[in-house]
Structure 1
Amino acid sequence: MDIRRIAEEERLSGAVVSGGFIWLAGQVADDASLDAEGQTADILRQIDALLAEAGTDKRALLSVTVVLADIRDAPAMNRAWDAWLDRGHKPARMTIEAPLVDPAWRVEITGVARAPA
């Protein structure tokens, strides 16, 4: 089976392409000083870039998990999400509250997309 790793770092790959799917690692904002809306927009930009490198775009997303450090940030996260979302290609989505590794991070997003044929 062919496995392609994208944006490899010391401990993980930003995305892994295999078996017709793209698995996104949990993405966090490059600028942790941003509020939840800003962090979400930054993360979605990163997801766009990873999917582009894999040869596709957000329309291929099948499932997304959003982790919020504070569930009260959901409206702010949703503002960025709604501005980014392709309304004709909405993925399944789950949003949960959980502590994140860096207390400055407000949002982390992961997902699975269909790889191009």
Structure 2
Amino acid sequence: MSITRIEMGPRMSQAVAHGSTVYLAGQVADDPKGKTVTEQTAQILGQIDRLLAAAGTDKTKILMATIYLADIATFAEMNAAWEPWVAAGNTPARATVEAKLVTPDYRVEIAVIAAR
């Protein structure tokens, strides 16, 4: 089976497709400074849509999502963007955890695994 790397850089690829599975790196907001958790989440979900499309799939095929929040108290704020975005009838398995992210400006990071 071939491996396709999408938006490959020297350290990592934003997505890797292998066979019928697509793995996305943890996505963070492009411009997080001053953005709310809901705003950052919405931006990240747009990035996920774009990367999944580049890999030949979409959010209806997400198998697993792992969501990292800098503060678990912002769980409802993140879900304010997630719930209208996630495909009804195709909700993935999901884990949401509190984690220290790379910089204080990042309040959300999301990684997904999807089928093609």
TM range (shorter): over 0.9
Whole-Å separation in 2 of the counterparts to 1:66 and 1:19: 24
Code of the aligned partner of 1:25: A
Secondary structure of 1:78's counterpart equals helix
Q: Give, in angstroms, the shift of residue 11 of structure 1.
A: 1.1
Whole-Å separation in 1 of the counterparts to 2:9 and 2:108: 20
Whole-Å separation in 2 of the counterparts to 1:106 and 1:76: 11
Q: Give, in angstroms, the shift of residue 9 of structure 1.
A: 2.3
Whole-Å separation in 1 of the counterparts to 2:106 and 2:9: 19
Q: Give, in angstroms, the shift of residue 19 of structure 1.
A: 2.5
Match in the other structure for 1:25: 25
Code of the aligned partner of 2:69: L
Whole-Å separation in 2 of the counterparts to 1:42 and 1:9: 21
Match in the other structure for 1:3: 3
Whole-Å separation in 1 of the counterparts to 2:3 and 2:51: 15
Q: How does 1:1-117 map to 2 (within 5 A)?
A: 1-33=1-33, 34-115=35-116
Q: Give, in angstroms, the shift of residue 3 of structure 1.
A: 0.4
Whole-Å separation in 2 of the counterparts to 1:16 and 1:79: 28
Whole-Å separation in 2 of the counterparts to 1:84 and 1:10: 31
Q: Give, in angstroms, the shift of residue 63 of structure 1.
A: 0.3
Residue range with higher mean Cα deviation, 1-10 or 104-113:
1-10
Secondary structure of 2:113's counterpart equals strand
Code of the aligned partner of 2:65: V
Whole-Å separation in 1 of the counterparts to 2:10 and 2:41: 24
Q: Deviation digits for residues 77-100 of structure 1, max 9, x if unmatched?
A: 000001111111100000000100
Structure 1 residue ranges, 4+ long, deviating more than 4 angstroms after superposition: none
Secondary structure of 2:11's counterpart equals coil
Whole-Å separation in 2 of the counterparts to 1:15 and 1:8: 8
Q: Give, in angstroms, the shift of residue 45 of structure 1.
A: 0.2
Q: Give, in angstroms, the shift of residue 20 of structure 1.
A: 1.4
**What are the ranges of 5 or more consecutive residues in structure 2 without an aligned counterpart?**
none
Share of identical aligned residues, percent?
51
CA RMSD in angstroms comes to 0.8
**What are the ranges of 5 or more consecutive residues in structure 1 without an aligned counterpart?**
none
